């Protein structure tokens, strides 16, 4: 099954207020690809640290410094075959085990990293916890649902993002 992540939320188009822009100046996300962690800082102080999944060697995660360009609810759609464009309702999380995707709990951040397509890479929650700590995505940074639900309200649009080896 081939799928693509599509961000779909009114929040994505919302313009941040001056106070949120100010708040974002003091926040930073650092993704370390070598140890597969995401760290969230406020005013230089480490606030949260999470294990994440990253891009596989054939489709690596981007490297560089950018910012959060969007945030919102996420949906997954088929990209190939007769169901192209249709929303994926079920996903296989282990061999033989299928679960309904809990879209009410799926969130994500769109990243703008210079030199990369700004609509291709996201930090987003996934239903398959077995992929956390592994290089198995098409370049996105994957988080466990509870971790993303904790981080999501803390991150503002325009928060700095650094992805490093």
| 10 band by pLDDT with thresholds 50, 70 and 90 | very low
Helix (H) or strand (E) holding 63: none
Tell me how far CA of residue 24 lies from CA of 33, 49, 77, 107, 145, in angstroms: 23, 18, 31, 19, 23
- Considering the entire predicted model, what is its pTM? 0.87
For residue 1, what pLDDT is reported? 44
Name the CATH architecture for the domain at 3-15+53-154.
Beta Barrel (2.40)
CB 54 within 8 A of CB 141: yes
For residue 23, what pLDDT is reported? 84
For residue 3, what pLDDT is reported? 54
- Average pLDDT, stretch 4-22? 62
Tell me how far CA of residue 21 lies from CA of 1, 17, 38, 93, 108, in angstroms: 39, 6, 22, 38, 19
Whether 140 is catalytic: yes
pLDDT(108) > 90: yes
Q: Where do the H-state alpha helices sit in the chain?
A: 18-24, 145-151
Catalytic site residue from 5, 7, 106, 140: 140
Separation between Cα atoms, residue 160 and residue 165, nearest integer Å:
17
Catalytic site residue from 124, 142, 144, 156: 124
For residue 11, what pLDDT is reported? 44
pLDDT digits (tens, 9 = 90+) for 15-64: 778 888 888 899 999 999 999 999 999 999 999 999 999 999 999 999 99
Whether 26 is catalytic: no
Average pLDDT over the chain reads 89
pLDDT(83) > 60: yes
pLDDT digits (tens, 9 = 90+) for 129-164: 889 999 999 999 999 999 999 999 999 999 999 999
Q: What are the residue boundaries of the structural domains of the chain, listed by start? A: 3-15+53-154
């Amino acid at each position: 099954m081939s799928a693509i992540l599509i961000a779909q939320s009114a929040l994505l188009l919302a313009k941040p207020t001056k106070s949120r822009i100010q708040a974002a100046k003091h926040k930073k996300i650092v993704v370390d690809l070598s140890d597969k962690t995401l760290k969230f800082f406020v005013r230089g102080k480490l606030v949260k640290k999470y294990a994440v999944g990253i891009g596989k060697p054939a489709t690596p995660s981007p490297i560089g410094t950018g910012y959060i360009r969007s945030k919102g609810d996420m949906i997954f759609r088929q990209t190939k075959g007769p169901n192209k464009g249709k929303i994926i309702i079920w996903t296989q999380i282990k061999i033989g085990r299928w679960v309904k995707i809990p879209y009410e709990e799926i969130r994500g951040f769109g990243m703008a990293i210079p030199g990369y397509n700004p609509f291709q890479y996201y930090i987003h929650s996934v239903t398959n916890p077995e992929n956390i700590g592994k290089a198995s995505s098409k370049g996105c940074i994957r988080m466990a649902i509870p971790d993303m639900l904790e981080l999501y309200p803390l991150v503002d649009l325009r928060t700095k993002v650094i992805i490093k080896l």
